[in-house]
């Protein structure tokens, strides 16, 4: 779960310069409601629901992603996946640079079919609706992409790119043309949220009070809290605590520092509060987390 805790703009490359694409399969922990934490990146991403269903948040939009459906996440869009209590949700994610489809030069493919989507002049549907031809074709292509990546037979990269182009063409054929641009208010809210998340990520180990955050972004405390929760769907305090717990887990695994010092270094000024938040989030104490992880490493 820790590797999924991305609360900001991702800087880790997906794939490499010669093959800028990565494929991930997530079978997530039922004890955690959030499957993918809110983040954004420069690549385009396709989420295919293999099993179950979950709530998908994208910028200011929210929808249910059901088994057999695919969500399209354009470059630099905030997105988060929230599970439904007690329900399994397995999904396949394909993340790639848009230039992967067209190449490095400004050819007709990029000019006519790629750039208008990235600029939102043409708006792809946020998800495929189960039972439609688009959903069926996309599901088949996503499953084939997974099979190709697992088998890695000679020429699999060519076939994988062909499947992605099929998906792009399917979305393009059902897209909103001439009028897909996001309204100015939504653009402003999302841009503002990214600024807030970037700041919080840089300062979460400090004494980060809501009053200070609100002042930093020229808002009242109540307005800041309402704005934050309207987009992130959790409170700012919960968000900061999640950042701190993720960092504490990293330090528990990578150092031998005392738990009390780790708590303090991560921004928790009260060890009892740290222990309580940690157990709520990780379903075990910090000591248990460290010892069990050490046992697992020894077993391996």
Q: Which of 132-136, 233-237, 273-277 has the lowest mean pLDDT?
A: 233-237
Angle between helices 271-282 and 286-299 (to 10 degrees): 50
pLDDT at 89 over 80: yes
Q: Which 3 state secondary structure label does DSSP give 177?
A: coil
Secondary structure of 230-280 in the HEC alphabet?
A: HHHCCCHHHHHHHHHHHHHHHHHHHCCCCHHHHHHHCCCCCHHHHHHHHHH
Q: Give backbone dihedrals phi and psi of 286, rounded to 5 degrees, phi first.
A: -60, -40
| pLDDT tens readout for residues 159-196 | 999 999 999 999 999 997 755 556 677 778 888 888 99
Q: Which pLDDT score is estimated for 98? A: 86
Judge residue 122's burial from the number of C-beta atoms within 10 Å of its C-beta, 0-12 exposed, 13-18 middle, 19 or more buried: buried
C-alpha 264/C-alpha 274 separation (Å) is: 9
C-alpha 129/C-alpha 135 separation (Å) is: 6
Judge residue 295's burial from the number of C-beta atoms within 10 Å of its C-beta, 0-12 exposed, 13-18 middle, 19 or more buried: exposed
Q: Which pLDDT score is estimated for 23? A: 94
CA 232 vs. chain centroid, Å, equals: 12
Q: What is the mean pLDDT of residues 110-114?
A: 87
Would you place residue 53 in the very low, low, confident or very high pLDDT band (cuts 50, 70, 90)? very high
Would you place residue 105 in the very low, low, confident or very high pLDDT band (cuts 50, 70, 90)? low
pTM: 0.70
Q: Which pLDDT score is estimated for 4? A: 38
Do the Cβ atoms of 115 and 89 come closer than 8 Å?
no
Q: Which pLDDT score is estimated for 9? A: 47
Range picked from 28-42, 137-151, 186-200, 273-287 for highest mean pLDDT: 137-151
Q: What is the mean pLDDT of residues 154-161?
A: 96
Do the Cβ atoms of 245 and 281 come closer than 8 Å?
yes
């Amino acid at each position: 779960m820790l590797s999924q805790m991305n609360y900001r703009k991702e800087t880790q490359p997906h794939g490499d310069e010669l093959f800028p694409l990565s494929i991930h399969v997530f079978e997530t922990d039922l004890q955690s409601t959030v499957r993918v934490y809110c983040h954004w990146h420069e690549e385009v991403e396709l989420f295919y629901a293999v099993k179950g269903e979950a709530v998908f948040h994208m910028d200011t939009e929210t929808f249910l992603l059901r088994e057999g459906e695919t969500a399209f996440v354009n470059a630099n869009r905030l997105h988060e996946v929230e599970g439904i209590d007690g329900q399994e949700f397995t999904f396949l994610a394909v993340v790639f640079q848009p230039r992967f489809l067209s190449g490095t030069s400004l050819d007709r493919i990029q000019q006519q079919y790629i750039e208008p989507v990235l600029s939102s002049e043409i708006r792809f549907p946020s998800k495929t609706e189960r039972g439609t031809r688009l959903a069926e074709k996309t599901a088949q292509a996503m499953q084939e992409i997974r099979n190709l990546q697992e088998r890695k037979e000679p020429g699999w990269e060519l076939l994988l790119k062909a499947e992605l182009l099929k998906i792009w063409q399917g979305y393009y054929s059902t897209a909103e043309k001439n009028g897909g641009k996001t309204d100015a208010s939504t653009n402003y809210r999302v841009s503002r949220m990214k600024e807030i998340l970037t700041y919080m990520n840089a300062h979460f180990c400090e004494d980060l009070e809501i009053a200070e955050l609100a002042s930093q972004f020229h808002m009242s405390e109540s307005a800041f809290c309402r704005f934050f929760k309207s987009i992130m769907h959790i409170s700012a305090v919960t968000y900061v605590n999640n950042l701190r717990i993720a960092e504490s887990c990293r330090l528990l695994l990578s150092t031998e520092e005392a738990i009390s010092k780790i708590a303090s270094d991560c921004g928790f000024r009260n060890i009892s509060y740290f222990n309580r938040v940690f157990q709520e989030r990780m379903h075990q104490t910090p000591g248990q987390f460290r010892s069990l992880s050490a046992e697992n490493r020894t077993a391996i």
